[in-house]
Structure 1
């Protein structure tokens, strides 16, 4: 009995840890289903045909200088306001020394908006520049270039509002308080639990999230197939005022 007890305990611990990681992820539905901001991210992404820019439009020097020199792809998240849950996501690709807008989509961020000092449970998305290194989800790999972990444990618990059940069908980990090179639902938090974690790009449910950024399924599939680890993608995110400062 003792010989079998350790593996069983390890399996139980692993299952509990994975569930806690999903519960800690954003968009958990604890504040109910869609809000009055419903429906903005259902549309397919808009292809861009804009001129190239030397810098990322709407991003000031403070954050621009935090974009690594070798970054060739930037996912910019423009929040509509410091306390607003609505945002716009734009993918920029570097062409020579200039940035070209490639695609854009409506999106949602934290229910209570944005913060430069994110903490667990504050319902605000963190402002900053973060690398994008790992992806995963409930659904099969759609052709992702980033390392992709398919695992049923990503599934949202069925006691959450039904509108949230598919939130984590596809996710891309935002490297905020996490260990790069691990699956998005790895629970490790190097800066401590109080700083929050489990912050992802994931599928939208029609309203603000706990701290993540959510987009339509079409947008997530496009990003998964496009973000290339050889181009060192990053996300630059925040409300427009913070981004420009």
Structure 2
């Protein structure tokens, strides 16, 4: 079994701006006789209503398209790649996947997809348990890959192993052979940094595990996310461990919160 190797890269930060104000003064000549003349007072500068409103406007950080503030807040600060897998409803077992990349200025842009995807037979859940036939909703890191076939040239640690071979049929009678030719482990109830084949479950066996992104076999999954073979290979080539990639997945109404 090949050893895993990780690589790193520095992040980029921005800078601020500075402004200054100007003060005007005046003097008056005294009258030779009589009472002292009235002193003229220069009017104080007034900030325009438009400028005041602009200064008071709250500034919000750029968000990944389709994500609401609560979901966006769950993405780690260091993550600059986010694979967003969106289902139409809580019970949907088909979805759309888009890889988003964060630019140095903070703006997120599409870096891959959109790709057609499948998820679990019964849809989504925010309280996944083994055998419920639902895919867990949430934000999870994706940093380890593997498969029955060799690494297509990606940068994630990759474990090529014949144990990824699978047989049998899916929910629609479709063949499962080749489904695990390439997989990306989703860090749900697993120990990061290990092969996707690792079976240790930190939350206990009852909370399920082995949730992967794998090759689509033409039908719904047990709990995983599935992409077409070529799309999964493209994703493997695009993911960069230095970008601390995550997957954000669930039904659209949930992700929009």
TM-score (ref. length: structure 2):
0.73
Structure of higher RCO (CA pairs closer than 8 Å, 6+ residues apart): 1
Give me the whole-angstrom Cα distance separating, in 2, the residues matched to 1:206 and 1:242.
26
User: What is aligned with 1:119?
Assistant: 129
User: What is aligned with 1:98?
Assistant: 107
- Larger CA deviation: 158-167 vs 142-151: 158-167
- Larger CA deviation: 162-171 vs 80-89: 162-171
> What are the equivalent positions in structure 2 for 1:89-238 lying under 5 Å apart?
89-96=97-104, 97-103=106-112, 104-158=114-168, 163-238=175-250
Greater Cα radius of gyration, structure 1 or 2 = 2
Distance 1:162 1:153, change over 3 A: farther
Post-superposition shift, 1:157?
3.2
Query: Tell me, what secondary structure is at the counterpart of 1:167?
Result: coil
Structure 1 residue runs of 5 or longer lacking an equivalent are 1-52
Distance 1:201 1:150, change over 3 A: same
CA RMSD of superposed structures (Å):
1.4
- Larger CA deviation: 180-189 vs 153-162: 153-162
Matched, 1:76 2:84: yes
Query: Tell me, what secondary structure is at the counterpart of 1:62?
Result: helix
Structure 2 residue runs of 5 or longer lacking an equivalent are 1-60
> What are the equivalent positions in structure 2 for 1:57-72 lying under 5 Å apart?
57-72=65-80
Give me the whole-angstrom Cα distance separating, in 2, the residues matched to 1:158 and 1:55.
41
Deviating beyond 6 angstroms after TM superposition, the runs of 4 or more aligned structure 1 residues are none
Q: In proportion to residue count, which structure has more helix?
A: 1
Give me the whole-angstrom Cα distance separating, in 2, the residues matched to 1:210 and 1:159.
12
Structure 1, residues 115-139: CA drift from partner, whole Å, max 9, x if none?
0000000010000000011000000
Matched positions, count: 193
Query: Tell me, what secondary structure is at the counterpart of 1:164?
Result: coil
Give me the whole-angstrom Cα distance separating, in 2, the residues matched to 1:59 and 1:212.
21
